[in-house]
Structures are given as C-alpha cells and as structure tokens.
Amino acid sequence: MKPVLRAEQVSHAVAALLRPEEVTGARLPADEAAGQLDRWRSRLPPASLSLPGGGMDNCPAACSRPEAADTGFEIWLELVEECNLDCLFCYNPWRGRSTPADGAARTLPLQRTVEVLGIICDTVSVSHLTVSGGEPLMYPDLPSLVSRISPAIPSIGITTNGRSGTRTRLEALKSSGVGRLSVPVHSHSPLTHDHLANGRSWHAAVRCLALAQETGYQTTMSAVVTGTNGTHVPRVAEIALLLGIPRLVLNCFHSTGQGLAHDRRLALPAGRFGDIVRDIRDTFGDRLEITVGSPEEHAASDAPMAPAQGGVSRVSRLVLSPQGEIKFCNQSETGLLNVLECGDSRLRALLDELAAGQYDRALASIDNCTCRAAPVVSKAV
C-alpha cells in the first residue's frame, strides 16, 4: 500500500515540489511528492474544501462594507500584543514602538473581554468574529475564551502565523467553537517567507494549514505582497491548490506599523499589485478564489478622516485592541474609548449610535486606513 501523508509531513512534500533546492536532508522525488499530496487531499473532510464565510481578510479592506447593514458587524478581536515572529511588514500600529514601562506585552483580561463582547452582541448585530493579535495562539487558555463567547456569535475564526498550531491545539479550538482558520504563506521559498516573517516559520505555516484541513476547518491562505516576493505569488497560489485550500487572500504591503522601517525594501511600484492580482486571477481564477484583503490604495493622515471621505459613510468592523481600545480599523492608531478605563454605560452609548446608523464619530476617529481614499497629509518638518 502506498504511504499516505499526515499533515505534519505535508510541508516537506510541498517544498520538494516547489523549492527542492532549499530542502535539507533526504529529498523526496517530485513525482512521489505529487502522488503523496494527491492521496492526502483525497482524504480531507468536505468542510475543508468549501469556501469559508467572510471575515478572514486580515486587513481592514472590509471595514466599510455597505452590505453590513444587512449582515451585521464583524468583530476583530486583537487579544495579545505578544508574537513569536517579528514580521518586517506587520501593520499593527503598536509594533516597532517602545514597550510599556514594565516591558510586559499587554493582554486583554479574559473576564473583561467576555463582558465587552457580550455587551456588543446585545446591542448591535454581529455576523462573525475573528481572533488575532499579536499571535492569538499565545493567549492563555484560548479555547476557554472561545467556548464562553461562541453561543452569541454565529461564526468565529482565527488568523495565526501557524507557529503554535499543533494538532492538539487546533482540535481543542475546533471543539470550543472556532470554525475558520487563516494562515499566511508569503512565498514558495521557505527562505523568502522566513526573511519576511523575520523568523523560521514557513514549514510551520504550511503544517498548520494542513492540520486545519485535516481537522475540518474552513481554511484560508493569505500573503502580503511586497517588492521582495511579488514574483512568487503564482507559486503561492500553487501551494493553496496543493493543500486543497479554496481561497487565497492577497494583501498589498503598506508602510504602516512595523513596515515603516522597511518601506524602501518592501514597497511595490505603483500599479504593480493590481497587475499581480489580475495575472493570478487570469491563471488560477477557475480553480481558486482570489480575494484582495488590503488594496493598493492607502490613506494615512495626521488628522482624522472626514466621515464621508472617499464615499465612505458607514463602518462595519469593530476592533478591540490588546490595549482595550474600541477602533474601527485595524490600522488606526487610536479608538473612541478604552474598555479597560471606561464604564459600560459609555460603551453602550457608542454601540447605540452604531445600531441607529450614526457613524460620524466612528468615521472621524479613524486616523489610518488602507481602504479609504483620502489625501495623505505630510507632517511638518
């Protein structure tokens, strides 16, 4: 009987097919690797091969979706600042800055997180929730948190770098109520991916995706497209197909968060991202859903954006940051209030505004956002 791969072995077969020159140790022949991956995919549960629901875009391109009036708000729950990688392009606004005075990364307390999410779900319609960070799998007892909030939320997903994604952990999260998982793979080359992630993680990311497929998650693969890996995107799409993953989310690199320090190396020429997306859709569109998470256009300003700037007149994403800020875009520096400092009455008042379709204060608080067309205001020097 021919051997069948386990998820823990899949990354080595993928590397043998797409980047054999970077394989260390015994090299699997390409035809044997292809056959093993075919047999592995044939055993995947049907749920793993179906398109996941919304909310897995790991960039705020959906923070003003008009259809949210009917489908409800999405919640982006950034649980922890702590991360086991140090990605060169990390968009989180707290990255690349000084740590708190005590040097400790901040984490949302479990009880307060449950309370705040309960108030949100009681006040506005929620379509889905995505758990992120930092690295969310570093949150203490994440399954316990998910099990406490899952009864009130129709769909829960996690976006992770995959480094801590063991079979036992993914099975526990699936049992607690997580149904969707997104993991980035930035290149078919482990060396290039690890360079962009600033740590060895390519094999872990592919292994985590394979484990998610075996466990029955609705799985999405993503990639941040930069000047370093732009030509690698077609091979990234091939990885998704080899793993039986139906959706690939492409995010254009933007000079924000930690990316500010690496703009010269990572920035794409104007128009290049759009060309890449069109080429990938032309080549793979009949076999793979190609979604743009973070588009090329970028609006950043020293002053808050006007409520209707760029034709945007509503918000559809609520972000709860590790510092307790309620924001309306992941890239925004500040929020309208802090749930670790304010009482529930202020939170309810804000949510009542949103439930009534009053978005002016929320929109005006957004000071950085990829998907809003607004002029860039340069700082005086």
**Average pLDDT score over residue span 336-344:** 91
pLDDT at 97: 52
Give dist(CA 211, CA 207) in Å, integer.
6
Q: Identify the CATH number of the domain in which residue 339 sits.
A: 3.20.20.70
Q: Let me know if residue 379 belongs to a domain.
A: no
Give dist(CA 358, CA 356) in Å, integer.
6
**Are residues 89 and 253 in contact, defined by beta-carbon separation less than 8 angstroms?**
yes
**Average pLDDT score over residue span 235-251:** 97
Q: Let me know if residue 150 belongs to a domain.
A: yes
Q: Let me know if residue 282 belongs to a domain.
A: yes
Give dist(CA 90, CA 111) in Å, integer.
28
Give dist(CA 199, CA 184) in Å, integer.
14
**pTM above threshold 0.75:** yes
* Unique residue bearing structure tokens 């933007």: 254
**Are residues 207 and 6 in contact, defined by beta-carbon separation less than 8 angstroms?**
no
pLDDT at 381 over 50: no
Q: Let me know if residue 6 belongs to a domain.
A: no
Q: Let me know if residue 16 belongs to a domain.
A: no
Residue-wise pLDDT for 161-218, tens only, equals 999 999 999 999 999 999 999 999 999 999 999 999 999 999 999 999 999 999 999 9
Give me the number of domains the chain comprises. Answer: 1
Across 98-112, 251-265, 288-302, least confident range: 98-112
pLDDT at 369 over 80: no
Give dist(CA 217, CA 219) in Å, integer.
6
Q: Let me know if residue 4 belongs to a domain.
A: no
CA proximity to 316, closest of 76, 62, 53, 120: 62
Cβ atoms within 10 Å, residue 170: 25
Give dist(CA 16, CA 6) in Å, integer.
16
Question: Residue 128 belongs to what domain range?
Answer: 46-369
Give dist(CA 12, CA 9) in Å, integer.
6
Q: Let me know if residue 20 belongs to a domain.
A: no
Residue-wise pLDDT for 83-137, tens only, equals 999 999 998 866 545 455 555 666 778 999 999 999 999 999 999 999 998 999 9
CA proximity to 366, closest of 321, 325, 336, 322: 336
pLDDT at 149: 95
**Average pLDDT score over residue span 140-166:** 95
Average pLDDT, the chain: 85
pLDDT at 301: 42
pLDDT at 71: 64
Q: Let me know if residue 26 belongs to a domain.
A: no
In whole angstroms, what separates CA 315 from the centre of its chain? 19
CA angle in degrees (0–180, nearest 5) for 240-242-248: 10
